[in-house]
Chains A and B, each alone.
Chain A
Amino acid sequence: MIKKIYKSILAIIIGHITVLKHAFKKRVTLEYPEVKPLLNDKFRGEHLFDINKCKACGMCQKVCPANAITIIKDENGLNEYSIDYKKCIFCGNCYYYCNFNAIMPSSNFELACSSKESLVITFKKAEEA
């Protein structure tokens, strides 16, 4: 019995010393809105879309698991391209399978907004004068 009590007290003391040791370690958390995390180039955030590179082949539409991409074509090729962030699951298939590098990942992850409509991002071909 005494041996058991002695063992328990020893275990608690060792535990407390370990916790104390950790208390003086470097802090790992960030104060988020002021300090932003450093993200690498592969990070799958908001899409960057280059309408001049896009050939409207429809590959991104074909591989998207959430049907978030809409392509409207006219006789000159691509007319309108839109990404619906209400549906997008950020899997990255659209840029992994794009043959023309028209759609690329970016590290912007702050996509919160106040209206549903602004979550559908539309790119339109500029009218030629």
Chain B
Amino acid sequence: MTNLFKTMEINVGPQHPSTHGVLRLILELDGEIIKSCKPVVGYLHRGIEKMAENRSYLQYLPIVDRIDYLGGFFNSYAYCDCIEHLAEIDVPDKAKYIRVLCMELNRIASHLLWLGTFMLDLGASSPLFYCFRDRERILHIFEALTGQRMMYNYFTFGGVRFDIPSDIIDKISVFIEDMPECINDYENIITDNPIFVSRCKSKGILTKKNALQYSITGPNLRASGVNLDFRKSNPYLVYDRLNFDVSSDISGDAFSRYKVRIFELHSSLKIVEQCISFIKNSSDEFLNKSVKPVMLNIDNAEYTSSVESPRGLMSCTVMAGGKNPYRVKWRTGSYYAVQVLPELLINAELADLMAIFGSLDVILPEVDK
């Protein structure tokens, strides 16, 4: 008789297919209802911040790609921007446009992977294949441009490593022509599907107050009614010269997070189009060749650079200390999304756990660093 009123503690993860990495959740259940949740992070800790301290500025550059493996360009840019400010390196305009082009394509690839795996968490398997198929086209472009599919090491201090050849520009043009139809197809399959709607509408509501208190940024914050996009509010690179829209929604549930991300796919395509038209007509240099990255020596100084990554605000703080960084600090969006999870899960059903967690778009390597 006493057991009836007891709650049960269960453990989800660390190795769970839906945790997008390695996350352990300790849940307290009353029947099927979650009463409390405690995330345990740190299983993917690689000491990326510490690694900077015994490497030169250049040696650390390939390692930052591995913080968030779905958005390598964002990490690289944040770090390069810091060093460029500290060492007073000028970046040519064309390099800035190439960086924006790469980052926006990267954002599309990241959102496509999120969409596929989110739908798989909800039990729909066909969108996964379509999303991966279309994402593969972007990865082929990246492979032809940078030499690898995910760990690019393409941005460098003062620009980018190689110029964009015209055949890759043609490939990107074809891709952005085809993509709106693909996104339309995903929406046909997903958006009005009654099972998807009933599993996502009013599930995992992140209120505006909670979102602001927990420092949530990116699409998760915009879905809760705060129209804050770092590309618009503090334009870095050439975002102030580009014409694009930012969407926001007020309900803050899993469905509105989905809608905001789908809208971002469209706006990223719009930015890529504008970048291509600039790069085609530009005869600028792609790299500031006066920089000698191997011999870089920066006096004691500190700089923080921020970038709007697919998972929210990502910032990199570098404290320079001569030939190697004295300290590097990374702030990543996913870390805060994991911290807010207990708030979203209280009184939710166990079956909704993965729908809510999946909608936050958390990447665990980015959390643990």
Contact = CB atoms under 8 A, between A and B. Distances in A.
Task: Answer yes or no: do A and B interact.
Answer: yes
Interface of A: 7-8, 10-12, 14-15, 18-19, 21-22, 28, 39-40, 42-44, 59, 62-65, 89-93, 96-97, 105
Interface stretch (B187-195, B278-286, B303-311, B358-366): B187-195
17 contacts: A11-B191, A15-B192, A18-B185, A21-B185, A39-B143, A42-B143, A42-B147, A43-B147, A44-B147, A63-B294, A65-B59, A65-B63, A91-B62, A92-B62, A92-B148, A93-B153, A105-B147
B211 interface: no
B151 interface: yes
Contacts of A64: 59
A93 B192 CA distance: 48
B59 A22 contact: no
Q: For the complex, would chain B's binding face be called helix, strand, loop or mixed by DSSP majority?
A: helix
Nearest to B198: A8
| Cβ-closest 8 pairs across A and B | A91-B62, A11-B192, A8-B194, A42-B147, A65-B59, A44-B147, A18-B188, A15-B189
Contacts of B153: 91-93
B346 interface: no
Nearest to A11: B192
Interface in B266-302: 294
Contacts of B192: 7-8, 10-11, 14-15
Contact of A15 (B148, B151, B188): B188
Interface string B13-57: 000000000000000000000000000000000000000000110
Nearest to B189: A15
Interface of B: 55-56, 58-63, 126, 130, 133, 136, 143-148, 151, 153, 161-162, 185, 188-194, 294
Contacts of A15: 188-190, 192-193
A19 B126 contact: yes
A59 B293 CA distance: 12
A46 to B, nearest CB: 13
A108 to B, nearest CB: 14
Contact of A91 (B151, B185, B190): B151
Given A40-B143, A65-B59, 13 more contacts: A11-B191, A12-B193, A12-B194, A22-B185, A42-B145, A42-B162, A62-B56, A65-B55, A91-B61, A92-B148, A92-B153, A93-B58, A105-B147
A44 B147 CA distance: 5
Contact of B151 (A8, A10, A40, A89): A89
B347 to A, nearest CB: 26
Contacts of A97: 294
Contacts of A12: 193-194
Given A19-B126, A63-B294, A11 B194 contact: yes
A63 B188 CA distance: 49
Given A42-B162, A43-B143, A43-B147, A11 B193 contact: yes
A42 B193 CA distance: 43
Nearest to B65: A91
Given A92-B153, A97-B294, A63 B147 contact: no
